[in-house]
Amino acid sequence: MQYTQQLAGRVLIFASAMFAANFSVWTLYAVLGVEVREQLDLSATEYGILLAAPILSGALLRFPAGLLVEYFSAKKLILLQMLLLLPVLLLLPYIESYGEHLLAGLWLGISGVSFVLGIRYITPWFERRQQGTAMGIFGAGNAGAAITLALAPAIQNWLGREWIGPIYAVGILLMVVLFEFCAPEETRYMRSRNKAKIQHHLRPLMQIKVWRYGLYYYFVFGSFLALLLWLPNYYLAVYEVSTQVAMALTLLFVALSSSLRALGGWFADRYGARTVNWSVFWTCLVCLFFLSYPPTSMTIHGVERDVHLNIEVGIELFTLLLLVIGIAQGFGRASVYKALHDNFPAHMGSVGGTVATIGALGGFTLPVLFGIAQDLVGIHSAAFMLLYGVLAVCMLVMYLAIQREQYQQRLTFARQNNFLHEDASTSAALPDR
């Protein structure tokens, strides 16, 4: 038993490190995209599409990866996935045109499937009461984006932009070696799942609950991913700070949100995933209300004189509200997967892959929608107005789901205790008046 616990600890350590390394590659365009936009003079929409290219392929590949990992060794699939990243990282210095950057971004998106593979790799090693905490610690690998926000600009300043891809390739290769020789292989019992037919893994996808969790993850993960890509340029455009300050503030958002995901998993284990989710949504709704408000000047015609008001969210308040949202999203990402494991413990590959796909699609669609909204409305805070609307839909769906479940519970209780039967009998016995 103690030996198994030691192996589980090693699994969690190396899986989390692997996920962080892959996530740093997946979000590489958060740094490279800023310079590409300046060089190619991209519009907000074109810039959003560029940022979203790696996210799109990563999202679309997550579902098939979730099915594959139900039949093949998660460790071997992880190693293969990382090896596939090496060629494009080595080719990055030679990419110049907008089209080439889009194609390279789609290739880099392979790194996005590491989450699905990693989740399926770690869950068999832990008991149900530990799943939220374990998946929260693993999910803290989102901090890989912070690595990129700190490391990529440093490489660019010291050695030049052309060295970013090759140095990242060396890092991924090092992770391949460490994972191959240090991460434990699945046991024979864990591999026994391979005997199940594909219908067994696809059957849960017929339940509306899976897609509802996907919608929640669209916000808590998709908007997190979209914001970490969008924020550097937002800080530059709205607050006119330096590139270093923009990257540092974005890094703070990413690091805080990712590091507290493990705590969110613990809270989900202790207080329940739904309670955490509901708290997360209300917190984000309040913060997004203020972030959505554009800079406004008002003139109030008073009795004796006019009163001029300037309403604007300064950089300090903006950053504070953003950090609160980041913390809440970290808790939400952990609680959604805790809820998934509570409901579908034997389908974390297929169900987890489906929810991860929907969440990652948020990281693809939202930056594009941010750009379109900004181009159409002409307001920088249009991105947060859009997020406010997405969150409102999530909360409405969750409220209706809770009401439906409570109704079903009352109906079941009534049937079990013959309340409905007794009511019918009583009604039939009453004389007509």
Query: What is the secondary structure of 220-237 as a DSSP string?
Result: IIIIHHHHHHHHHHHIII
**What single DSSP character describes residue 240?**
-
Q: Compute the radius of gyration of the chain from its Cα atoms.
A: 24
What's the pLDDT at 430? 44
Helix (H, G, I), strand (E, B) or coil at 311: strand
What's the pLDDT at 3? 47
Largest CA distance in the chain: 94
Give the chain's domains with CATH numbers: 2-189+199-418 (1.20.1250.20)
**What single DSSP character describes residue 305?**
S
What's the pLDDT at 83? 95
Give the Cα separation of 6 and 425 in Å (integer): 62
**For residue 122, what is the enclosing H or E element?**
helix 114-122
Query: CB atoms < 10 A from the CB of 176, how many?
Result: 20
Q: What is the pTM of this model?
A: 0.73
What's the pLDDT at 73? 85
Q: Would you state the structure tokens that stand for residue 38, as one six-digit string?
A: 């300046």
What's the pLDDT at 356? 82
Exposure string (b/e) for 295-316, b if CB count within 10 Å is 16 or more? Answer: eeeeeeeeeeeeeeeeeebeee
What's the pLDDT at 432? 44
Q: Would you state the structure tokens that stand for residue 166, as one six-digit string?
A: 């090759």
Residue whose C-alpha is closest to residue 119's, from 355, 280, 363: 355
Contact call for residues 179 and 13 (beta carbons, < 8 A): no
What's the pLDDT at 274? 83
Give the Cα separation of 193 and 238 in Å (integer): 52
Helix (H, G, I), strand (E, B) or coil at 100: helix
Q: Which residues of the chain have pLDDT under 50?
A: 1-3, 422-433
Residue whose C-alpha is closest to residue 231's, from 54, 34, 43, 56: 34
- CB-based contacts of 75, cutoff 8 Å, min separation 6: 121, 179, 183, 185, 186
What's the pLDDT at 213? 87
Contact call for residues 257 and 329 (beta carbons, < 8 A): yes
